[in-house]
Each structure stands twice: as C-alpha cells, then as structure tokens.
Amino acid sequence: MFAGTIVFALINSFILILMAIGFNLTFGISGVANFAYGALYAYMSWTMLNLLHLPFWASAALSIVLTMISGAMMYRFVLLRVRGQALSEVIATFGIGLAILELFRYLGLVGFEYTLPVFWNESFMIAGAYVDIQRIAIVLIGLMLVLGLWLFTHFTSTGLAFRGIAQDERTALTFGIDSDWIATLSVSFGAGLAAIAATIIIPLGSIAPNEGYDVLIKALAICIIGGLGSTGGVIVAGFIVGFAERFTDTYIGSQWTMIVSLAAILLVLAIKPSGLFGQQKELEERI
C-alpha cells in the first residue's frame, strides 16, 4: 500500500504542476495574474466537447489552439486597456472568469456525462497498484512540458524575450522587444498550458463549472507556496502538496486533504511570505 500511495502521490503531484504551470508562466512574464485561468481550462473542454465528431487528436489540437486564441484576445481587447493598474487587471480577469464559468453552469454543463475521452483505456500494475495509462500519460506529458518550457525559455529567441521582459521590462523595451506582444503571447501560452492540462486531466473526472474554480484555487495555492513566477517553485510546491494530499487521503481521510493545502499556505506565508522560491523584487529602481 505504501508503494502504491507513492505512485499515486507522484501522479497527483504532476496533476497539480500541470494545473499551476500556465498561471505561473503568465504571471512570471507579464505580471498579469490571470484569474480567468480556471475558466479557460473549462472553456477548452467545452470547445473540445463540441468538436468530438472530429478525430481525437484533431479535436484536442484544435481546442487547444482556440483556447490560446481566446487568451490572446482577452489580453488584446480587455487587459491591454487596464494594463499596469493592478486593481483593474485583477477585477477584469476575475470578471471574465466568473462570466464564463457561470454561463456554463447556466447552460447546464454539470454531471458525469460531460467528460473527455481517455486516450487509451488500459491499465497495469506498478508497485502493487493498478495504474491506467491515462495517469502515466499525465506524468510523461508533465515531464515533457516542464522540459520543453525550460528549453523554450533558454534557447529560442521568443523564450529569451520572455525572460528578458520578466527580469526587467524597461530594459527589454530598449532592446526592441515589444512588451505588449510578449504579454499577449504569455497570456496565450498560459491559456494553452491550461488547455493541455484540461485535455489530459479531465478524462479522469468530469467537466463542471466548479472544476474551473477548483483549478484556479489549486493553481493559486501551488503558486503561493512555491513563490509566484518561479517555475522551480511550482514543481517543488506541486510535489510537496501532491504527496501531502495523497498521504493524508490514504492514512487520515480524504476530507482532510484541503486542510493540508490550507495549512501549507498559512505555514509558508507565516515563515516566508513570498513563497519557497519566490523573490520579491527588492526595489524596482536599481540604478
């Protein structure tokens, strides 16, 4: 049982990392806290549900692209107008997320029949526990995404521009990096990551507006614990919370898992308010 718990804890950790990494990417680069993140996650699955008559991979790819476009449009048409005003950014994204999720609730997108297909319906034994291929895929895709993101931000010019903006927007501007375009891309990529997460995680459960809120809360929790904007922080926090949740679930009771997350947040905030790996910029003005 212990070994099995570890396997499931590992999978749970990757689920959490997948959920949080898009939110974190957007914030890390453009400083936009996208509170519509959970809604984009749900939006992707809704689009895909409507496209299911297409072959699986085509519908998945198409809905991921559509979600990315909506993220970009959200930035262009709404966020751009309130850029730099923290209050307005938060309220605008929160309002958009709210409207999307509650619209889905109104349309009756609740229940077990609303789910996405699994890739491969088979399972086998690992360490004394049955694990289905879907869950293995989550781990593999999670690993690939983290690795891919690292390669992207370190070796491609767009990725390097991302990091430049993240470090110092003004200096990046002087090097001819279009910060609005990069911010659009960052929101769009964040949305894309949410969509990928949805594609592989939703088959394990079902689509529901509440799922959207849950994803947002989990992403926020992981980012707060790990430290906003730090990819390493997201991974470490994902593992800490993922393991803690799964072990509480097995040895104490499933209703206690949420308490573990809350306790972790409060503990981290009390000891190191900026998160495990978070670095608040010491001062904006350096020179």
Partner 1 sequence: MSLPTALRVEDICKIFGRAVAVDHLSCEVRRGELLGIIGPNGSGKTTLVNLISGFLKPTSGRILYNGQDITRTAPHKIVGMGISRTFQMVRPFYRLPAYKNMIIPLYSPRVRQLAGGRYGDRNAVALDLLEEVGFERDANVAYKPAGTLPQGYLKRLELAKAIALSPDLLILDELFSGMSLAEVASIVPVIEKLRLAGKTIIMIEHRLKELFRIADRIMVLNYGQKIAEGTAAEVMESEAVKNAYLGSEE
Partner 2 sequence: MKKRRERIDRGIKARSEDVYALCSWREMLYLAGPRLLPAAAFLLLPLFLGVYWQKVMISVAVFALLAISWDMLAQTGMISLGQALFFGMGAYVSGILNFYFGMPPWLTIPAATVLGGTLCTLILMPVLRLRGIYFSMVTLIIPLMLVRIIEATKIFGGTEGLSGMTPLPSTLTEIYLVTGVLLGVLFGLRRLMETDYGLVLKGIRDNDRSVTNAGINIYWFKTQALFISSTIGAFAGAFMTHVYMFVGMPVFALDYSILPIAAAVVGGSGTLAGAALGAVILVPLSEALRGIGGLRIVMYGLFLVVFIVAIPEGLFDYIQRKYHQKERWVEIDK
Number of residues counted as binding partner 1 (CB under 8 A): 5
Single residue of 15, 33, 138, 145 touching partner 2 by CB under 8 A:
33
Closest-CA residue to 4 (of 129, 130, 180): 129
Decide if 172 contacts 164 (C-beta within 8 A): yes
Is there binding between residue 87 and partner 1 (CB under 8 A)?
Answer: no
Q: Which residue's CB is nearer to partner 1, number 270 or number 283?
A: 283
Piece of 38-46, 48-56, 264-272, 278-286 that binds partner 1 (CB under 8 A): 278-286
- The rounded Cα 75 to chain-centroid distance in angstroms is 17
CB atoms within 10 A of CB 77: 9
Piece of 148-156, 177-185, 213-221, 237-245 that binds partner 2 (CB under 8 A): 213-221
CA distance 272 to 263: 14
Is there binding between residue 283 and partner 1 (CB under 8 A)?
Answer: yes
87 binds, among partner 1, partner 2, none (CB under 5 to 8 A by kind): partner 2
Q: Which residues contact 14 (CB under 8 A, 6 or more apart)?
A: 138, 139, 142, 143, 238, 242
Tokens of 142: 């999670």
Q: Which residue's CB is nearer to partner 2, number 69 or number 269?
A: 269
Query: What is the greatest pairwise CA distance in the chain?
Result: 59
Residues that bind partner 2 (CB under 8 A): 27, 33, 35, 78, 81-82, 85-88, 90-92, 94-100, 102-103, 105-106, 213, 217, 220-221, 223-224, 228, 253, 255-256, 258-259, 261-262, 265-266, 269-270, 273-274, 280, 283
